[in-house]
Amino acid sequence: MPPSFYPAAVVKIDVAGKIETTRIIGAGAVGGAMAAMLHDAGEAVSLLAAGPRRERLLAEELTVNGRPYAMPIIDTDGPGGPADFIIVAVKHHDLDAAIRQMARSVGPETIVMSLMNGVDSEERIGRVYGEERVLPAVIVGIDALREGNRITYSNKGKIFFGDPAGGETERTGRVRALFDRAAIPYEIPADIRRTIWWKFMINVGINQASAALLAPYGVFQRPGEARSLMESAMREAIAIAGKMGVSITSADLADWDRVLAGLRPEGKTSMLQDVEARRKTEVEMLAGKVMELGRRFGVPTPVNERLFDIITKIEASYA
């Protein structure tokens, strides 16, 4: 990670209230892995689900790294008080439904953290529940794979989170304490907006190129056309970030290279997993967002336009 992502010193503050209850909406690769980590640490964690998804989770237990997890499945339409902490880990096209479904779980002191890809989930959640309840975050380096309700991972990755104003606050302290107890790797960067855009840049490149080429990480770990495609898509996101006052530069590509080199060559991005499982991808949130912002700021985005075209045609072929 870029050194500038780290504060010179993180002063730990006294935490007024311990996080006692955590609920996760979105039991996919990332959400399921997080649920298992918290459960293994003895934390009170449950899954939020409604309709057919809840029925599937009730019919077939979530399995992580070969171990079944019989954790509570809370009906989003049923009774129940607010949680201390909610992790949102759904796909882009499911976010509006998730925001509605977690209404009964959000109270005055609830902290909401999105581990979704993209750059706008925090804003969308904040418009409904208030920005003061949303703690911006991204997860980098996790290699979780999902097949049905079966999830495997070998690298926990690292969660970067923080208040937009910077520094540590009471709510970042509460989450830090939870992650310490659960041995979940994390950092509290000086500029969380930059971190979120750095992760967006990564996904614009590796997620989309891997889906378009049906290629695992190993293909991008060596020089070649696939790696060039990935980097070209990322450079368009970098150009847009500059127009928005976010300090992402071409030098950040080298920092991504170091993360990429540590991933399993046979590992697959979430978008490649979606394509292989014939699921809807998040191309609108990635290439679609780059194209939208490119038009707004006058930045050409031919690579993302091509990736958008390829991936939407792949989705159309499912039928």
Instruction: Dump pLDDT digits (tens) for 94-106.
Output: 999 999 999 999 9
Average pLDDT over residues 296-307: 98
Residue 36 has pLDDT above 90, yes or no: yes
Could you please report the per-residue DSSP string of 244-305? Answer: TT----THHHHHHHHHHHTS-TT---HHHHHHHTT----TIIIIIHHHHHHHHHT---HHHH
Q: Residue 9 has what pLDDT? A: 31
Residue 274 CA to residue 282 CA, distance in Å, equals: 9
- Least trusted range by pLDDT, from 82-86, 99-103, 147-151, 210-214: 147-151
Average pLDDT in the chain: 90
Could you please report the per-residue DSSP string of 196-233? Answer: HHHHHHHIIIIIHHHHHHT--HHHHSSSSHHHHHHHHH
- Least trusted range by pLDDT, from 5-14, 82-91, 310-319: 5-14
DSSP state of 134: B
Please report the domains of the chain, with CATH numbers, ordered by start residue. 3-190 (3.40.50.720), 193-317 (1.10.1040.10)
Residue 102 CA to residue 194 CA, distance in Å, equals: 28
Return the H-helix or E-strand segment holding 172.
helix 170-182
